[in-house]
Amino acid sequence: MTDTFDQCTADDRPADGPPPTRVAYLIGRLDRALRRHISEAVQPLGVTMQQYTALSVLARRSPLSNAKLAEKSLVSPQAANEMVKSMESKGLVERRPDPNHGRLIQISMTDKGQRVLGACDSAVIALEECMLEDMSADQRTAFQRQLKASLKALGAGLIEPE
Closest CA to 86 of 130, 33, 48, 41: 48
In this prediction the pTM is 0.79
Task: Give the model's confidence band at 160: pLDDT under 50 very low, under 70 low, under 90 confident, else very high.
Answer: low
**What is the residue-averaged pLDDT of the chain?**
87
Task: Give the model's confidence band at 1: pLDDT under 50 very low, under 70 low, under 90 confident, else very high.
Answer: very low
Structural class in CATH, domain 22-138: mainly alpha
16: number of Cβ within 10 Å: 5
Please write the tens of the pLDDT for every residue from 48-89. Answer: 999 999 999 999 988 999 999 998 888 999 999 999 999 999
What is the per-residue burial (b if ≥16 Cβ within 10 Å, else e) of 53-66? bbbbbbeeeebbbb
Please write the tens of the pLDDT for every residue from 5-33. Answer: 454 555 555 567 778 889 999 999 999 99
Average pLDDT of span 135-139: 96
Which residue(s) pair with 96 in the sheet?
A: 106
Q: What is the pLDDT of residue 94?
A: 96
